[in-house]
Structure 1
Amino acid sequence: MKTLRHFLIVITIFSCTNTITAQKIKPKKVKENMQRVADWQIANFEGLYSGHKKPHHPLDWTNAALYVGMVKWAAMAEDDRYYSWLRNIGETNEWQLYKRKYHADDHAVGQMYVDLFRKYKDEKMIAPTKEQFNFLMFHPSKSALNWGTPYHQDRWNWCDALFMSPPVWAKLYRITGEKKYLDFMMAEFKASTDFLFDKEENLYYRDERYFDKLDNGTKVFWSRGNGWVFAGLVNIMNELEPNSEEYMYFLNIYKKMAEKLITIQTPKGHWAMSLLGQEFYPTPETSGSSFYVYGLAWGINNGILDKETYEPAVKKGWNAMVSHITKDGMLGYVQPIGAAPGKAWPDKTEVYGTGAFLSAGSEVYKLYGGE
C-alpha cells in the first residue's frame, strides 16, 4: 500500500510540471492579488453574485468565512483600514453570534471576534461568545448525529460544521487557558469524525445522506465540504501546543487528508467539485481549492509536509486560483451555496470563496519568501 501511495504521489508531482501553471510565485505579487480581491469584496460586500435574493446577514456563516480570511489579510496589509472594517462589523452587531444558539454556522463569526480581541484587548469583543459557549457546555445537545433526527444540526453532523464552530472553541481555550473549552470541542469533533470520516479514502462525507450514494460510479466527497474540514483542522491546530495529545489527534487526520489531496488534484491545478470524479466535473471551483492550497502551504511552512513533495501542488493550485480573478478583482468560479458537487461560473462568486482565497494567500506569501 505504501508503495502504491508513493507511486501516486510521484505521478502527481510529475503532472504538476506542466507549463500552464509553472509561473514563478513572487511574494509581492501574492500581496497584490490578495489586496485586489479583498478590496473588490469590501466594495461589493452586499452584492448579489451567485443567485441569492438579498445580501447575507453580516453575522451569517458565509460572511464569517470571509472574515476568517480577511483577518489574515489585515495582519499583512500596510494600514489598519481592513481591521477597522472588521471592527465596525463587530461593533454594529454588538459582538453577538448569529441567531441559532446551537448551530455551528452561527458560531463561525466568533473566530473573527477572538482574533480582534487579541489585537485590541477589549473584553466586550468576546464576552457574548464566552457566555453562549458556557451555556452550551452546561446544556449540551443530546441529539443523534443521524441526518433528519430531531434537532440534528444542534451537533456537528455535517462536515462544514468542523470549520465553523470548533476553531472558536479552540481559540477560547487559547486565550483563557480554560481547558473546559478544549475538552468540549474534542469530544464533539471526535464524534463527528467517527461518524463522517471514510477511512478508506481519508475524506469526509458531507453528511449521512451521502454514505451510500454514488455519482458516476464514484463515492461522493464534496470538494468545498472537505475544504471546510481541511482549513478547519489548520485553524484548530494553530491554537494548540504542537506536542499536545489534542494537536496530534488533528495532525493525524490532517496528514492523511493532505496525502490524499495531492493525488487527486486536477491537471489544471484545482480540485474537482466531486473529489473522486474529476472526469465528470471538469469546471474549476475556487472555494474548496483555495482551502486546500491554504492547508498544504501551512503544512510546508510549519515543517509538517515535505516541501519537495507538496510544494508543486501549492504552486499549481495558487496559480490556478489567481487565473480566475477578473480584471476588477472578483474571484470567479466559486460554487454557490450547496451541499454537494454542482456547477460554478466565471462570473459568479461568494464571500466565503474570497475568505478561502485570502487564507490561502496568507500562507502562500510565507512559503515564497514573504515576511
Structure 2
Amino acid sequence: MKIAKTIVVLTVFVMTYLSHAQEIKPAEVKNIMAQVADWQIAHFTDLYSGYEEPHHPLDWTNGALYVGMVKWAAMADNDKYYNWLFDIGEKYEWKLHFRKYFADDHTVGQMYLELYRKYQDPKMIEPTKEQFNFIMLHPAKTSLQWKTPYHQDRWNWCDALFMAPPVWAKLYKITGEQKYLDFMMAEYKATTDFLFDKKESLYYRDESYMGKLDNGTKIFWSRGNGWVFAGLTNIMDELNPGSKEYKYFLDLYKKMAKKLLEIQTPAGHWAMSLLGQDFYSTPETSGSSFYTYGLAWGINRGILDKATYGAAVKKGWKAMVSYVTKEGMLGYVQPIGAAPGKAWADKSEVYGTGAFLSAGSEVYKLYGGK
C-alpha cells in the first residue's frame, strides 16, 4: 500500500513538473482566453456563490469580470467582446451601481472608461464624473475602523483598492484633472496606513483580522491581496512613471511582489491563507490569477527581473490553465467571502474569469504575443 501511494505521489510530481517545463505559446494563451471568455458570456446569468438570483450586471462581481474582459477584447480578432460590453453600458445608461460611496459599486466604471477610450463618446463617462465630483465635494468623514457607522463609505477593506482607485486614476488620465488623482491618493494612503502589514508586506482584509491567527499564522486572504496587487498595476498604468504618485505605488508593488515570490506553492497557485499553505492545500484561482497577472505585468514593463520572477509566472499560468474545464469554465474559484475558505473544481465565479483574462493578457505579451 505504501509503495502504491508513493508511486501516485511521484506520478503527480512528474506530471506537474513536465507541465511546468513545457514552453508557453502565445497562440495557446489566446485560445484558452477565448474559450474561457466565451464560456463566461454564455453562462453570464448562471447562479454563483449560493445566490438565488444572478448577480446584477453592475455588481462588483461582474465589474471585476469586465476589467479582464475589456483586456481580452483588445486582443481578440473581432469586436464581439467590445460589443457585448457596450450593450451592457448602453442598457444601464453608463451609470455606476446604486450606492454612491461604496467602492464595490464603482468597479464597473473601469469598463466604461476603457470603452470611452475606444469610442470617444462623452456619455460613457459623464455619470462617473458627476458622481465622483459629488463625492469630492461631500467626502465621507467616517472612520476606517470596521463596523463603525457608515464605515464602508471609505476604503476600509482591501478589496476596495481594486474596485475604486483605478476608476479615479483612469478619470484623471482621461480628463487631465488633478483633483481626481489627489482624492484617490489621499484615500489610498489612509487605507494602506491602516491595513498594510509592513513586516509581511501584505494587506489585512479589514481591521477585524488584525491580531487574529489561523493555525498560528497571520490571516492574509489570498483574493483580498490579489485585489490589491492587480489594482496597483491598473493604477500605475494610468500614471507618469516619473511622478511621485507612481513611485508610491511602485514601492508597494515591489514589496508585495517579493513576498509573493517567496510564498507561491510548489504547484503554482497561492494558498487561500497566504502564510498558511500547510493548512490550505486546495487550489484557488481568483487570487492566484491576479498574482500571475501582476507579476507578468511587472516583467513586461521592466520593473521585475524575468530571471527572478519568470518561473513564478510560468508556474502560475500553467496551474491556472490546468483548472479550466474542457468546456471553458475556470474551476476552483473561491465563492464570495472575506477570508480563507473552500473552493471546488466544478465551481466558478465571474470575478475569477476576470482575473484569469487579466493574467492571460500579460502572459501573452510575456511570451511574445503581439
TM range (shorter): over 0.9
Letter in 2 for 1:172: L
What is the 5 A alignment of 1:80-159?
80-159=79-158
Letter in 2 for 1:92: K
Look up the match of 1:296. Answer: 295
What is the 5 A alignment of 1:45-84?
45-84=44-83
Look up the match of 2:214. Answer: 215
Aligned Cα RMSD in Å? 0.8
What's the CA shift for 1:260? Answer: 0.3
What is the 5 A alignment of 1:35-46?
35-46=34-45
- Tell me, what secondary structure is at the counterpart of 2:281? coil
5+ residue gaps in structure 2?
Answer: 1-15
- Tell me, what secondary structure is at the counterpart of 2:359? helix
What's the CA shift for 1:130? Answer: 0.2
Q: Distance in 2 between matches of 1:313 and 1:271?
A: 11
What is the 5 A alignment of 1:320-331?
320-331=319-330
Letter in 2 for 1:361: G
Letter in 2 for 1:59: L
- Identity across aligned pairs (percent)? 77
Shifted more, 42-51 versus 224-233: the winner is: 42-51
Matched, 1:164 2:166: no
Q: Distance in 2 between matches of 1:23 and 1:83?
A: 32
- Tell me, what secondary structure is at the counterpart of 2:149? coil
TM-score computed with the length of structure 2 as normaliser: 0.95
Look up the match of 2:190. Answer: 191
Deviation digits for residues 26-61 of structure 1, max 9, x if unmatched? 000000000000000000000114321110000000
5+ residue gaps in structure 1?
Answer: 1-16
Identify which of structures 1 and 2 has the higher relative contact order when contacts are C-alpha pairs closer than 8 Å and 6+ apart: 1
What's the CA shift for 1:23? Answer: 1.9
The 8 Å contact of residues 20 and 268 in structure 1, kept in 2 or not, is answered as: no
Q: Distance in 2 between matches of 1:187 and 1:291?
A: 25
- Tell me, what secondary structure is at the counterpart of 1:262? helix
Matched, 1:310 2:309: yes
Deviation digits for residues 341-366 of structure 1, max 9, x if unmatched? 00000000000000000000000000
The 8 Å contact of residues 48 and 54 in structure 2, kept in 1 or not, is answered as: no
Look up the match of 1:7. Answer: none
Look up the match of 1:369. Answer: 368
- Tell me, what secondary structure is at the counterpart of 2:307? helix
Q: Distance in 2 between matches of 1:53 and 1:204?
A: 31
Deviation digits for residues 123-161 of structure 1, max 9, x if unmatched? 000000000000000000000000011000000000000
Look up the match of 2:263. Answer: 264
Deviation digits for residues 254-283 of structure 1, max 9, x if unmatched? 000000001000010000000000000000
Q: Distance in 1 between matches of 2:17 and 2:81?
A: 37
Look up the match of 1:273. Answer: 272
Q: Distance in 2 between matches of 1:138 and 1:289?
A: 38
The 8 Å contact of residues 164 and 232 in structure 1, kept in 2 or not, is answered as: yes
Letter in 2 for 1:318: W
Look up the match of 2:249. Answer: 250
The 8 Å contact of residues 335 and 344 in structure 1, kept in 2 or not, is answered as: yes
What's the CA shift for 1:178? Answer: 0.3
Letter in 1 for 2:224: G
- Tell me, what secondary structure is at the counterpart of 2:262? coil
Aligned residues: 355
Q: Distance in 2 between matches of 1:59 and 1:177?
A: 26
Shifted more, 64-73 versus 45-54: the winner is: 45-54
The 8 Å contact of residues 38 and 354 in structure 1, kept in 2 or not, is answered as: yes
What is the 5 A alignment of 1:16-31?
18-31=17-30
Letter in 2 for 1:148: K
Q: Distance in 1 between matches of 2:204 and 2:19?
A: 32
Q: Distance in 1 between matches of 2:261 and 2:140?
A: 37
The 8 Å contact of residues 113 and 124 in structure 2, kept in 1 or not, is answered as: yes
What's the CA shift for 1:200? Answer: 0.3
Look up the match of 1:335. Answer: 334
Look up the match of 2:354. Answer: 355
TM-score computed with the length of structure 1 as normaliser: 0.95
Letter in 1 for 2:304: L
Q: Distance in 2 between matches of 1:145 and 1:184?
A: 16
What's the CA shift for 1:324? Answer: 0.2
